[in-house]
Amino acid sequence: MRVSYDELKSELKRVLISRGFEPEAAEIGASIIADNSRDGVPSHGLNRFPAIVKFIDEGAINPHRHPVKLNGVGALEQWDGQLGFGPINASIAMDRAIELAGQYGLGCVALKNTNHWLRGGTYGLRAADAGCIGICMTNTFPNMPPWGGTEKRIGNNPFIIAIPQKSGEHVLLDMAQSQFSFGKLQTYSLAGKKLPVTGGYDKDGNLTDDPNAILDGGEVLPTDMQVRIMRMLI
């Protein structure tokens, strides 16, 4: 079944409004999710929506809350996301960083009490659209062994650098620090495909290219610097 972008976005928006979002916030959230699927990043788009709805219903995402500034010193600010929707919180934080960069040449916003922002590249491109170099990071829990290790001690946190181009075809680096993000493992799993290269260990500690074996009690491998540099058409 093929669903048009407009239909997908309007359905996502309808559901977000039904869960308590204001129409404007629902428009932003639905756009980010639909754009990620449209832009060839299915691992961080529509596939996450059932979990998002579940998190709203469980209270882990609060559709009524908006981020507030806690503290600031010049170009550096701390914000509290108040458990609002991650992609909206991250968009507001990046917009504020862009504003600070306009004022000070640089801007940095740290955000706490938030949740999964989906594709990190969204916010890098948001900076690039505003003519800024965007650098974005999040934390995560220790879900990966360091190279040569077997115990999960470090995170596979995403790392994003976006560099604006006048043409609008910005340069974007958007990578997990694992060989494959967990979203990418799920994409291969859903497609019934093996990974193109070894991606981690199975639960018995054997290297494997089977995404299910990694997801089912195994461990991801750290990235081999096979960075995925994408030139994206906005």
Catalytic residues: 44
Stretch that binds a second copy, among 1-9, 87-95, 102-110, 198-206 (CB under 8 A): 102-110
Sorted by sequence, the CB contacts under 8 Å of residue 18 that are 6+ apart come out as none
Does the protein bind a second copy through residue 206 (CB under 8 A)? no
Nearest to a second copy of 198, 212 (CB atom): 198
Nearest to 113 by CA among 55, 63, 67: 67
223 belongs to the binding site for a second copy (CB under 8 A): yes
Q: What are phi and psi of 220, to 5 degrees?
A: -80, 155
Q: Minimum CB separation from a second copy for residue 179, in Å?
A: 10
Q: Is 226 in the site for a second copy (CB under 8 A)?
A: yes
Among 73, 166, 204, 233, binds a second copy (CB under 8 A): 73
C-alpha distances (whole Å) from 32 to each of 23, 37, 46, 49, 61 are 14, 9, 10, 11, 16
Q: What do you get for the CA distance between the two ends of the chain, in Å?
A: 25
In angstroms, the CA 232 to CA 169 distance is 6
Binding mask 112-151 for a second copy (x = CB under 8 A): ----------------------------------xxx---
Find where tokens 């600031």 sit: 72
Indicate which single residue of 22, 54, 70, 74 sits in contact with a second copy (rule: CB under 8 A): 74
Site residues (vs a second copy, CB under 8 A): 72-77, 103-108, 146-148, 222-226
